[in-house]
Structure 1
Amino acid sequence: MTAAAKTMVAPDKGAANDTLLAVRDLTVTVRDRGVVRPLVSGLSFDLRAGETLAIAGESGSGKSITSLALMGLLPNNVSVSRGQALLDGTDLLSLSERQMRAYRGAKVAMIFQEPMTSLNPVHSIGNQLVEAIRAHEALALREARAAAVEALRQVRISEPERRMAQYPHELSGGMRQRVMIAMALAMHPSLLIADEPTTALDVTVQREVLDLLRDLQESTGTAIILITHDMGVVAECADHAVVMKAGRMIEAGPVSTLFTAPREPYTRDLLAAVPRLGAGAERNAPLPPAAPVPVARLVEASVHFDIGTNFFGRHTHRVHAVEGVSFDIRPGETFGLVGESGCGKSTIAKALAGLVSHEGHVEVAGKPLATLAAQGRKDICRDVQMIFQDPMAALDPRMTVGDAVIEPLQIHGIGSVSERRARAEELFHRVGLTSEQMSRYPHEFSGGQRQRICVARALALRPKLIICDESVSALDVSVQARVLELLKELQEETHVSYLFISHDMAVVENVVDRLAVMYLGQIVEMGTRDAVFGNPRHPYTRRLLDAVPIPDPARKRPPYARPVGEIPSPIYPIGVVPQRVNLRDLGDGHLVAESD
């Protein structure tokens, strides 16, 4: 342990005896195939009431294992071998499972990173919220339901009364995370552990949720342990930070000191990899020229989904997921789509890949998708490939990664067995892996390596367009930077085009040539990166940019203007259509929706 990591500088808030949680020499080990190895080694820190402590580091650094140890939720083969975690004088690590149940939720609550595995798929959202509230508070059913609805409203979920009857699979990833946050906030715990609580959230919702957590601290004195790889969130929300690597504390101290004068090389490398809003303006590369036949083109494209049925089995409402969207993607261009969950970004990606029915005109490589037969749609897959957000879910765990890259070539009957193998080996080397690794399975790789394998698989058919749907949002900042650099290098080599879908505005600014901002299924602003980021004209674009966390604790932003009233929805009764926005050209292709 370094000298910087040995001492946690006392915060300014409160007196020394106000310590709520004192962790001393926490050591967590795992027994794997008869071998015991440490996951967390000698971790110590103090946390006072009303403070936020950020634990930062890359995947595998021990951040989440620390939180699970404090909650008493370690897997069977993982155990605490040494240390204490004193919460108001009670050692959480020494409590039995029965004793710990009285603490979970009421005194220590946790927001998990993956909400789908935390929510019960066979129970409605309302039942799970009500159950959690009544487990710790003596409330009547009606009072508990009212508290649950209010908790959902606090985290800005639209139509909270209707969401109460829905099931987890009916909500987007961001909405499921908001449900988990609402469940934790409803308990008013003295200690809240937030494990990557905003990773899946849009930048505006992230800002609102972080503001909510701060409000909770001010009103109740709740202390927060914030586990994150987003250094912008650390800079804005935390009082102190602990940087971990390979289970050990590398550096710790006040956030202001950590950002301005990091002592350890690892901390400096971590901060250097953070994408910063405004850094994209330093690039001055010309736009790829327009071509007679763009790689992809949408003209007044719309995608609708009918939902709800009446007594006669007829649909009553329609989701206007995409409504009258028009843009094109040039050869060798990176075109960005940004906006909040539910705005239609991923639906457009599915329409371009031929995965959903659409109205209007959608073409890829000059071929209108609506006129293609089955074989033609299969051929389009050679021109359009996708890189998904979760590489582990995108790879078959029973198939070696080499076979996963070779499989597209087999499906399309390209080359002989030896030629496919050679092509796969070439792709592995191109994305920074070795041909020896082709015989391994997905679980044997890190998250960044799995995403590189997905990139190799997407390149196997030499596509004209690769759709990157939140492809780096779940990666650590250093891994994210390496994957983005890889995508840039591959574009320079192969002249492939990207449709880059993301809610991380800082990342988008650093990688795209042009972009479109979407809101409720329609484009409200579109133009070059410099035009949109340098001169945002639509209020929604400005709101997105204002919500981006800034990785500089010395830079204080004005209070964020939270939306008031009911959240707009793209769902309308059958026969009712949303009002189309009119885009006005401000010059040089900078289009902005006209205000009412």
Structure 2
Amino acid sequence: MIVGAKPIAAPLSGAATPLLCVRDLTVSVRDRGTVRPLVSDLSFDLHAGETLAIAGESGSGKSITSLALMGLLPNNVAVTSGHADLEGIDLPALPEAQMRPLRGAKVAMIFQEPMTSLNPVHTIGAQLSEAILAHETISRRDARAKAIEALARVRIPEPERRLKQYPHELSGGMRQRVMIAMALAMRPALLIADEPTTALDVTVQREVLDLLRDLQQETGTAIILITHDMGVVAECADRVVVMKSGRMVESGKVLDVFARPAKSYTRDLLAAVPRLGAGAKRGAPQPPAAQVPVARLVNAKVHFDLGANFLGRPTHRVHAVEGVSFDIRPGEIFGLVGESGCGKSTIAKALAGLVRHDGHIEVSGQQLSSLTAQGRKQICRDIQMVFQDPMAALDPRMTVGEAVAEPLLIHGVGTAAERHARAAELFDRVGLTPHQMSRYPHEFSGGQRQRICVARALALKPKLIICDESVSALDVSVQARVLALLEELREEMGVSYLFISHDMAVVENIVDRLAVMYLGQIVEMGTRDQVFGDPRHPYTQRLLDAVPIPDPARKGRPHIRPAGAQPSPIRPLGDPPAQLALRDIGAGHLVAALS
């Protein structure tokens, strides 16, 4: 780590003295005796009350830059040259004992995944009070009062009750609000938000971004927003720094960079962003000829019982899926959209036979509830899944070639040589090379790992592939390549997809038909053009309104804000929710009647 004072360089832009001045910052990792730069010669200024976005793909050095500013770099990573002055204090040069009191008081950070950032064994109140007591010499009663005030500031209802709750008792959006409250409790001069909305639903993302903007106007805090979502950059940032492979590619005012990107990498990054309305340019999907559906659900229900009375019987029931009906046709991409907890993934698990269900679900003409164990194994050849996190879906102890060939081995298909040949063929088909089959999952990028998962799903030549948030964790350019691959496979092999996502812009660019889910039920269903071109249900309209638009000229547009708290799918036993009736408003466009 660098020690010693550094002279403050002149500001890069603007006449006012910047709050944060970063000059020629180089961060390097020492690995097996070799020093390799992760961030090279990075320079930028940040003024009070300003939002600077640092954008780029995974591995571009965005998060390493934020950890360097916070003094949280791993032991084998250090700032090897340059400086970052916050109000005249060179942050990387400070020893840990001097940096510790500045964290939270002068500079604070919001991380991407709030569940891993909060301690699961302590209440929200204990964690908030701890953060306040670390910087102020006050009583615990006063710290509790400040914690309640911080929660109220981020618009969390019933803040006194939330203090007694644990992180797992809050939704993802609520947990992220707690992290924002904790970060802003001491009103720091600088807030670093590292992918604060990537793991959130589009409506919750909208609420968090609006909240950050409101709090910034109230407190004057400067924000460094780290993201790969150019729509978020356009809506929130004043200036942007685009990074690639640890180096700054381009920087400037958001309006200028979006309107006139100077570098080809920036142009490619902007071109890869899925945009609402772009799907309509592909033309209306051709309805498949009348055939037996690949999958069909009729009044499907999935319930989970909770709680226990003194007799040990359940007291409440989670109505995860409540009377859902739709079919998926051969060669069709059918979308399921909605917020977390609406039942999308539960439907996927029910289709794959992974959870018990009521009602009628059939795959390839066979009703799942009537199948024997052998029959369920056979149906797995017709239906496969691609999960959200490819690293978690692949066994780290198996080579990727073994992982792709494993379904063939389980079902006793072919000899060892034939299975190897089939895996090599699939690697070639998804844009990888057969010589990569001997490598392990950690040796690939996120996009390559997802391609491997697609190859594994194709091994048994299924009729239906379920993509459960399979591109939501990927950078926009990698995401575009995976989506293009799915389209190619559909056209060449006639495979059908159930495409599950909360990203409406992505869904519009790939699906033929879709259903919008809310609290376990479908509220609107139709073709892509019907739902996106003429949304009728208020919830569908709110989902579409919340999508970040990658156009800074539309920054600050008014949004539909939800009224009241989000209802819960958990109800007392014997008190099921009312079944929504779908009515056809024309040409198969179904909309739930408003109560």
> TM-score, normalised to structure 2's length?
0.94
> Separation in 2 of the partners of 1:143 and 1:494?
65
Kindly provide the CA deviation profile for residues 256-301 of structure 1, in whole angstroms up to 9, marking residues without a partner as x. 0000011111111111111111001101153342544211111111
> Separation in 2 of the partners of 1:582 and 1:356?
25
Which is further off, 304-313 or 527-536? 304-313
Instruction: Determine whether 1:578 maps to 2:548.
Output: no
Alignment partner of 2:191: what SS?
Answer: strand
> Separation in 2 of the partners of 1:64 and 1:521?
36
Instruction: Determine whether 1:10 maps to 2:50.
Output: no
Matched with 1:420 is: 419
| 1:561 Cα deviation from its structure 2 partner | 3.1
Matched with 2:496 is: 497
> Separation in 1 of the partners of 2:394 and 2:493?
24
The residue type paired with residue 101 of structure 1 is R
Alignment partner of 1:234: what SS?
Answer: helix
Which is further off, 120-129 or 559-568? 120-129
Kindly provide the CA deviation profile for residues 352-399 of structure 1, in whole angstroms up to 9, marking residues without a partner as x. 111111111111111111112222222222111111111111111111
Matched with 1:65 is: 64
Matched with 1:43 is: 42
The residue type paired with residue 10 of structure 1 is S
Matched with 2:265 is: 266
Which residues in structure 2 correspond to 1:242-253 (within 5 Å)? 242-253=241-252
Instruction: Tell me if the contact between 1:29 and 1:79 (Cα under 8 Å) persists in the aligned partners.
Output: yes
Matched with 1:80 is: 79
Instruction: Determine whether 1:374 maps to 2:377.
Output: no
| 1:169 Cα deviation from its structure 2 partner | 5.4
Instruction: Tell me if the contact between 1:397 and 1:443 (Cα under 8 Å) persists in the aligned partners.
Output: yes
Change (3 A) 1:149 1:9: same
Change (3 A) 1:426 1:204: same
Matched with 2:568 is: 569
The residue type paired with residue 367 of structure 1 is Q
Instruction: Tell me if the contact between 1:427 and 1:460 (Cα under 8 Å) persists in the aligned partners.
Output: yes
Change (3 A) 1:270 1:91: same
Instruction: Determine whether 1:98 maps to 2:97.
Output: yes
Instruction: Tell me if the contact between 2:54 and 2:62 (Cα under 8 Å) persists in the aligned partners.
Output: yes
Instruction: Tell me if the contact between 2:331 and 2:496 (Cα under 8 Å) persists in the aligned partners.
Output: yes
Which is further off, 170-179 or 313-322? 170-179
Change (3 A) 1:7 1:330: farther
Change (3 A) 1:212 1:370: same
| 1:577 Cα deviation from its structure 2 partner | 1.2
Which residues in structure 2 correspond to 1:446-457 (within 5 Å)? 446-457=445-456
Change (3 A) 1:359 1:128: farther
> Separation in 2 of the partners of 1:139 and 1:508?
51
| 1:188 Cα deviation from its structure 2 partner | 2.7
| 1:64 Cα deviation from its structure 2 partner | 0.6
| 1:186 Cα deviation from its structure 2 partner | 3.6
Kindly provide the CA deviation profile for residues 337-365 of structure 1, in whole angstroms up to 9, marking residues without a partner as x. 11111111111111111111111111111
Change (3 A) 1:546 1:184: same
| 1:126 Cα deviation from its structure 2 partner | 4.4
Alignment partner of 1:189: what SS?
Answer: coil
The residue type paired with residue 201 of structure 1 is L
Matched with 1:3 is: none
Aligned residues: 587
> Separation in 1 of the partners of 2:365 and 2:152?
46
> Separation in 2 of the partners of 1:444 and 1:241?
31
> Separation in 1 of the partners of 2:155 and 2:411?
46
The residue type paired with residue 16 of structure 2 is A
Instruction: Tell me if the contact between 1:174 and 1:341 (Cα under 8 Å) persists in the aligned partners.
Output: no
Instruction: Tell me if the contact between 1:155 and 1:208 (Cα under 8 Å) persists in the aligned partners.
Output: no
Instruction: Tell me if the contact between 1:398 and 1:441 (Cα under 8 Å) persists in the aligned partners.
Output: yes
Instruction: Tell me if the contact between 1:72 and 1:97 (Cα under 8 Å) persists in the aligned partners.
Output: yes
Alignment partner of 2:499: what SS?
Answer: strand
Which residues in structure 2 correspond to 1:498-513 (within 5 Å)? 498-513=497-512
> Separation in 2 of the partners of 1:269 and 1:318?
48
Matched with 1:313 is: 312
| 1:412 Cα deviation from its structure 2 partner | 1.2
Matched with 1:536 is: 535
% identical aligned pairs = 79
Matched with 1:239 is: 238
The residue type paired with residue 58 of structure 2 is S
| 1:463 Cα deviation from its structure 2 partner | 1.1
| 1:146 Cα deviation from its structure 2 partner | 5.9
> Separation in 2 of the partners of 1:381 and 1:156?
46
Instruction: Tell me if the contact between 1:297 and 1:362 (Cα under 8 Å) persists in the aligned partners.
Output: yes
Kindly provide the CA deviation profile for residues 72-106 of structure 1, in whole angstroms up to 9, marking residues without a partner as x. 11111111001111111111111111211111122
The residue type paired with residue 31 of structure 2 is D
Which residues in structure 2 correspond to 1:135-154 (within 5 Å)? 135-138=134-137, 140-141=139-140, 144-145=143-144, 148=147
The residue type paired with residue 566 of structure 1 is A
| CA RMSD in angstroms, aligned pairs only | 2.2
The residue type paired with residue 508 of structure 1 is V
| 1:499 Cα deviation from its structure 2 partner | 0.7
Matched with 2:434 is: 435
Alignment partner of 1:523: what SS?
Answer: strand
> Separation in 2 of the partners of 1:147 and 1:311?
39
Which is further off, 182-191 or 225-234? 182-191
Instruction: Tell me if the contact between 1:287 and 1:333 (Cα under 8 Å) persists in the aligned partners.
Output: no
Matched with 1:334 is: 333
| 1:45 Cα deviation from its structure 2 partner | 0.5
> Separation in 2 of the partners of 1:420 and 1:554?
54
The residue type paired with residue 24 of structure 2 is D
Alignment partner of 1:136: what SS?
Answer: coil
Instruction: Determine whether 1:280 maps to 2:279.
Output: yes
Instruction: Tell me if the contact between 2:276 and 2:505 (Cα under 8 Å) persists in the aligned partners.
Output: yes
Alignment partner of 2:554: what SS?
Answer: coil
Matched with 2:344 is: 345
Instruction: Tell me if the contact between 2:291 and 2:329 (Cα under 8 Å) persists in the aligned partners.
Output: no
Matched with 1:128 is: 127
Instruction: Tell me if the contact between 1:7 and 1:252 (Cα under 8 Å) persists in the aligned partners.
Output: no
Alignment partner of 1:321: what SS?
Answer: strand
Kindly provide the CA deviation profile for residues 148-173 of structure 1, in whole angstroms up to 9, marking residues without a partner as x. 56655666778877765555556665
The residue type paired with residue 16 of structure 1 is A
Instruction: Tell me if the contact between 2:39 and 2:246 (Cα under 8 Å) persists in the aligned partners.
Output: yes
Unaligned runs of 5+ in 2: 1-8
Change (3 A) 1:133 1:290: farther
The residue type paired with residue 476 of structure 1 is D
The residue type paired with residue 560 of structure 1 is H
Matched with 1:31 is: 30
> Separation in 1 of the partners of 2:355 and 2:165?
23
Kindly provide the CA deviation profile for residues 557-595 of structure 1, in whole angstroms up to 9, marking residues without a partner as x. 532232232221111111111111111101111001111
| 1:241 Cα deviation from its structure 2 partner | 0.2
Change (3 A) 1:590 1:77: same
Instruction: Tell me if the contact between 2:110 and 2:180 (Cα under 8 Å) persists in the aligned partners.
Output: yes
> Separation in 2 of the partners of 1:471 and 1:167?
29
Instruction: Tell me if the contact between 1:177 and 1:200 (Cα under 8 Å) persists in the aligned partners.
Output: no
Alignment partner of 1:489: what SS?
Answer: helix
Kindly provide the CA deviation profile for residues 241-264 of structure 1, in whole angstroms up to 9, marking residues without a partner as x. 000111111100000000001111
| 1:137 Cα deviation from its structure 2 partner | 4.2
Which residues in structure 2 correspond to 1:154-169 (within 5 Å)? 167-168=166-167
Instruction: Tell me if the contact between 2:12 and 2:45 (Cα under 8 Å) persists in the aligned partners.
Output: no
Change (3 A) 1:436 1:159: farther
> Separation in 2 of the partners of 1:152 and 1:359?
41
> Separation in 1 of the partners of 2:312 and 2:260?
65
Change (3 A) 1:520 1:41: same
Instruction: Tell me if the contact between 1:158 and 1:567 (Cα under 8 Å) persists in the aligned partners.
Output: no
Matched with 1:480 is: 479
> TM-score, normalised to structure 1's length?
0.94
> Separation in 2 of the partners of 1:8 and 1:502?
43
> Separation in 1 of the partners of 2:155 and 2:380?
38
Matched with 1:398 is: 397
Change (3 A) 1:126 1:311: farther
